Structure 1
Amino acid sequence: MNRKLSITILLQAIMLLVYGQGSWQQIASVDTFGRAGAVGFSIGDKGYLASGGGKNDLWEYDPLLGIWTQKASFGFEGRLYAVGFSIGSYGYVGTGDGSGQLHDFWCYVPANNSWTQKANFAGGPRRWATGISIGDKGYIGLGSNSSGNCCKKDWWEYDPGTNTWTEKAKLPGLNRGSAVGFSIGNKGYVGTGGVENQYGRTNDFWQYDPATNTWTQISDYPGRGWSWGVAFSIGEYGYVGTGVDTNSIYTNDFWQYNPSNDSWIELANLPGEPRYSAVGFAISGKGYIGTGETEGLIAYLNDFWEFTPSCETPAGLTTTNIKATTAKVNWSVEPTAQSYSVRYRKTGTVSWTKTTATTNFKKLAGLAPNTQYDWSVKSICDAVNNISSDWSSTQNFTTKPLRLEAESEVETTLEVDPNPFHFQTTISFYIEQEEHTTLEAFDLTGRKVMLLDQMMQPGDHDFVITREQIGYGVFLVRLITGNETSIIKVIVQ
C-alpha cells in the first residue's frame, strides 16, 4: 500500500475514534492570570465567566471570533465559590465567599452591559452552593452557611418576574457542598459533592421536577465520590467532568448523561492539567471548560477548551400525518447535527431516494397511494469534512388509499425552527384548502396564549413567535385547521 495513503487512512481512523468520544480543541485563554472558584453561564451565542479568586470581573467569550472581552465588573464585592446561571437573556450571580460568606444576588444585562442588585438569596449567606435554571426560574441550594457548618440540602426557587425566593423540597440524601447541576428540558439534575466529614465525597445524582416539586434518584455518577466539578447540558444530554475524587486526586474525566435511558458513558478526557473548581458552560451545541486549580508551581489556570460532542445517530423515529401521497417523518434532535440526510424507498426495492432536512422532521411528498415505504435518517455534523453518523435503523409506514377529491382529507404539517429557541422561532405549516385556523401555545400549567385565529388560504404559511409573546419554558403549540389538529413541543430557553 502507498505510504502516503496509509498515513491518510490512519489519521482518518484516529479522527473518527476521537470524534466518536467527542473532540476537544484549545481556545483562547481568559485574562492573563489564572483563577479558581469562578462561575460560568451562557446567554444566547456568548459565554460568560465571572468572579473567582476573589475577583469581581466579568469576561464574555465570542465563539465566532474566538476572543474574550472584559465587560462591566460587578459593582460589589469580589468573591469565589459563588453560583451563576442564565434565565433567558439575563445572567445571574450570587452568594460565595468574599470578606465573609455572602448572600447578595445580582442580574447582568448584556444589552447595556450593566448589573442590577436583586433580592438577596433567602437561604442566607452561602458558599459552595449549586445553582441552575429550569425554564424561566432559577434555583440555588446546598453548600455551607456562615456558621461554617458543612453542609446543607435546602433548595430555593427564584422568580425573576416577581424578584422573590421560595423554598422548595430539600434534596434527599446527604447534606453536601461543591455539587454540580445542569438542566435538560423541564427537569434539573444535581449530584456529587463534598459531604459531612465522616463520608468525604459522594457520587449520587438526583433529578428535580419543578412541576411536582419532587426529587428522584437516578444512576450514580460513575466511579468514586467526587466534588468541585463542572456540568452543563447540550441538547438532550448532560455533561459532567473534572473535579477531585475521594482520594483527593485531581481529575480530567468527562462523562455524558442520557436521561432517556438513565445512563452514563465516558467521553474523551479534558486535555491539559487535571483540575478542580473550574467553570463550564455550553454555547450553540458545544461545551466549554476552563480555569480552575491544579497541582504544581502554576496552581491556578486560565486555559480554556472547547468540546464538540460526537456525531450521534438520530433516535426516536416516528411517522405522522400519513396521507395517500405524503407523510411526515420525525426523529429526536441531535445537538451536533448541522443537518440531516433522510432516505426512503418502496419496501422491497433497492434504490433509495435521498433528501435533506435542517430540522428534526421532513415531509415526504410524491408517494404512491396504498404503498409501504422504508425510511431512515442520519446526522450530518460536518459537511465540509464529511463527518456524519451511521444510518438509523429502518422504519416503515404505509400510505393511505387514494380518495376521490371530494372525499380528500385536509392536510397540515406543523414545523418549528429553531427549537429550542432563545429569542424567536418560526412556525411553518401547510394546508390544502381554505380553512379557519387557530394556533395556540400552552405552558405546563395549562395557561393558553392565542397566537392566531383567522381564515387561512391554501398553501405554505410561516408564523413568527417570540419569547416575549409566550415566556420561558416548555410549551405545547397546537394548530387546528378544520377537523385536523397538530401538536408540537416547543422549548423557550
Structure 2
Amino acid sequence: MKKNIFLLILLILGKILVVHSQGDWTPKADYGGTARSLSVGFSIGGKGYLGTGDDDGATTNSGKAFWEYDPVTNIWTQKANFGGSKRESAVGFSVGNFGYVGTGVGGLMGELLNDFWQYDPVSNTWTQKADLPGAPRKWASGFSIGDKGYLGFGDAGFNGLRKDFYEYDPATNTWTEKAQLGGKGRSSAGEFSMGGKGYVVGGAATPTGEPSRDLWEYDPSINQWIEKTTFPGIGRTAPIGFAIGEKGYYGTGQYYMNDVDAVNLNDYWEYDPISDSWIEKANLEGAPRDRSVGFAIGTKGYIGTGLSYDSACSCTENLKDFWEYTPDCIIPTGLITTNIKATSAKVNWAVEPGAQTYSVRYRTTGTVPWTKTTAITNFKKLAGLTPDTQYDWSVKSVCDAAANISSDWSATQNFTTKPLRLEEGSNESIALEVFPNPVSASATISFRTLEKSNATIDLFDLAARKIKTLFDENVEGGEYSLSFNRNELSDGIYFLRLRMTNENIMMKIVLE
C-alpha cells in the first residue's frame, strides 16, 4: 500500500506525564551544500562536519560532498570529498582528532557497504581503514567512547536487522566484536555517548519499520548492554541524538499513523543517566523532519538537513536549514565544603558543562547581606573568614555573562570555621596548576598533595569526553610536575581533572 506522507500537529498522549523545561533553538547559516537527507555528521575540536547523503539528483556528487561548520564565524567551508564511493544512510562519528565514516548504501550499483574511512581535518584528507568485519549494512548506529569507536546494528538487507556490535581501535586499526545489543535487532535508531558509556534509543525493530521506544546503555568496562528507562515519547525511526556534557538529547524522526500515513516529528527530549529519566524540551523550531544530522560542539547541540513534508507540493522535500540548541543553564549539584580552617574554606561542586563561569555567594549565618565572588572552575577558596563561625554559601552557573543568562542559586549549604590556632603547612590538601595557561605548544602541570595517595590526571574536552590519561601513579606527600604537549589537539577549551583518593580538582585549560 502506498504510504501518504503529510504533516500532523502532534498531541501528547494523555498517559504520558511530561515535565516541560525549555532550552533554546537558534537558526544558523544554512548547510553550505545542496539540500539533502540521509547524510552523516560529527564534530572535531570546535568544528562540525556534515556530508554524503542524497540531494535528490540536484548534483552528481551529493554522496561524497563534505562541508565544515565553524560556530564562531557561523560559516560553512567545503572540504575534500569523501574518499569512498558515494553513499547515503552511513554512520559517522569522531575519535580524538579524526572523523570516521563507514557502511551505508551506494557505490556503483546501490549495494550495501562495510568499508570504513578516516578524515584528518588538519591535512583535509581521507584514508581508508579496515573494513567493518560484519555484514555490509545501512542505517547502522555509531558513537565514540574515549579513544575507541563503536558501530553496529542496522539493516543488512537479506541478512535482516542486525544486533551485532563492534569496537574500533584507531591505534591498531582493528575491529573487535563486542556483546550484542539487548532486545531486538534494529535499524535507524538514535544514539549518543557520555560519561564513558554509549546509548541507543528506539529505531525500526521489525523489517516493516515498526518503531521501538526502548533505551539501552552500553558499558565498555564490562562489555554489557543494560536496559534503561523506556523513552516516554512517540516511538520513531530515523531520529537524531547527541550529548552535551552529561545529558543526552533525542528527537525528530518519523512514525506511521494507522500503518499508512508517515508523520514527521520535531519534539526533543533530554535524558539524564544519573536519575535514568527523560524530560521533554523545546521543540525544534524548524520543520518537522527525519533522516537529518546532529552533533554537539562544546556546550551546544546542532541539527540540520533532513527530509520533511512540503504542503505546497504534497510531497517530501530535502532540507538544508541548520539549528543550534542551547540547553538550560543548570544549577550546579554535588555541593560540598572541604579544607575548613579557622579563616578559610574551600567550596566545591560538580562541573556544569554549560557554564562559562560560576557565581558564589556566602555570608555569616543569620545575616542578610551576601558577599559574592566569581569562580572560573568548580571550586572556590573563601578567605578572610572569622574563626569559630557558621557560614552559609550557594553557587549558580553563569552560562552567558554578556546576555545575562544564569541558573538559579543552588540550595544553601553551611559550614563552621575552626577555632583560631596556629596552622601548619599549606591551606590546601591538594592543588593543581598549569603554566602557561592558555597553552600554545606545551605547558608544565604541577600538583601538590599532603598525603600518600593514588594520583590520576585526566584530560577532558568541553563535552566531558575523556581524551587521555596524563598521569596515574601512587605518590607520597609532596610536589610533582610533568610536561604536557598538546601535539595534535585542536584549539579550544579543555578540562584537567586531578583525582586523589579522597578529593578531586577540575581545572579549565585553553589551547590556542
Category of TM-score, reference length = shorter chain: 0.7 to 0.9
Q: Please give the residue correspondences for 1:307-318 in structure 2 after superposition, counting only pairs within 5 Å.
A: 307-318=325-336
Give the AA of the match of 1:196. T
Shift of 1:180: 1.2
Q: Please give the residue correspondences for 1:340-379 in structure 2 after superposition, counting only pairs within 5 Å.
A: 340-379=358-397
Name the CA distance, whole Å, in 1 between partners of 2:352 and 2:376.
11
Aligned residues: 456
Name the CA distance, whole Å, in 2 between partners of 1:464 and 1:255.
42
Aligned to 1:58: 66
Give the direction of change, closer, same or farther, for the CA distance of 1:436–1:245 in structure 2 (3 Å limit).
closer
Aligned to 2:498: 477
Name the CA distance, whole Å, in 2 between partners of 1:348 and 1:416.
36
Aligned to 2:214: 204
Aligned to 2:131: 120
Aligned to 2:199: 189
Name the CA distance, whole Å, in 2 between partners of 1:449 and 1:323.
30
Name the CA distance, whole Å, in 2 between partners of 1:27 and 1:57.
20
Aligned to 2:17: none
Contact 1:37 1:292 in 2 (8 A): yes
Name the CA distance, whole Å, in 1 between partners of 2:51 and 2:370.
52
Contact 2:83 2:128 in 1 (8 A): no
**Normalized against structure 2, the TM-score is what?**
0.81
Aligned to 1:142: 153
Give the AA of the match of 2:218. Y
Shift of 1:412: 3.4
Aligned to 1:129: 140
Q: What is the root-mean-square deviation of aligned Cα atoms in Å?
A: 3.5
The structure 2 residue matched to 1:236, chosen from 226, 246, 257, is 246
Give the direction of change, closer, same or farther, for the CA distance of 1:245–1:90 in structure 2 (3 Å limit).
same
Contact 1:414 1:479 in 2 (8 A): no
Name the CA distance, whole Å, in 2 between partners of 1:231 and 1:404.
56
Aligned to 1:80: 88
Aligned to 2:429: 412
Contact 1:227 1:245 in 2 (8 A): yes
Contact 2:449 2:477 in 1 (8 A): no
Aligned to 1:11: none
Aligned to 2:15: none
Matched, 1:266 2:280: yes
Larger RCO (CA within 8 A; separation ≥ 6): 2
Contact 2:83 2:117 in 1 (8 A): no
Give the direction of change, closer, same or farther, for the CA distance of 1:93–1:197 in structure 2 (3 Å limit).
closer
Aligned to 2:318: 300
The unaligned stretches of length 5 or more in structure 1 are 1-18
Name the CA distance, whole Å, in 1 between partners of 2:405 and 2:469.
43
Aligned to 1:216: 226
Give the AA of the match of 2:117. W
Which protein has the bigger helix share?
Answer: 1
Aligned to 1:385: 403
Matched, 1:162 2:180: no
The structure 2 residue matched to 1:227, chosen from 211, 216, 237, is 237
Aligned to 1:284: 298
The unaligned stretches of length 5 or more in structure 2 are 1-19, 55-61, 460-465
- Report SS of the residue matched to 2:53: coil
Shift of 1:241: 1.1
Shift of 1:266: 1.0
Larger mean CA deviation between 423-432 and 69-78 belongs to: 423-432
Same amino acid, percent of matched pairs: 53
Contact 1:337 1:381 in 2 (8 A): yes
Contact 2:448 2:478 in 1 (8 A): no
Give the direction of change, closer, same or farther, for the CA distance of 1:465–1:430 in structure 2 (3 Å limit).
same
Larger mean CA deviation between 391-400 and 277-286 belongs to: 391-400
Aligned to 1:327: 345
Give the direction of change, closer, same or farther, for the CA distance of 1:285–1:220 in structure 2 (3 Å limit).
same
1:321-357 C-alpha deviation (Å, 9 max, x unpaired)? 2223222212222232221110011222221111001
Shift of 1:442: 7.5
Name the CA distance, whole Å, in 2 between partners of 1:362 and 1:327.
8
The structure 1 residue matched to 2:355, chosen from 326, 337, 349, is 337
Name the CA distance, whole Å, in 2 between partners of 1:413 and 1:82.
47
Name the CA distance, whole Å, in 1 between partners of 2:443 and 2:227.
35
- Report SS of the residue matched to 1:392: coil
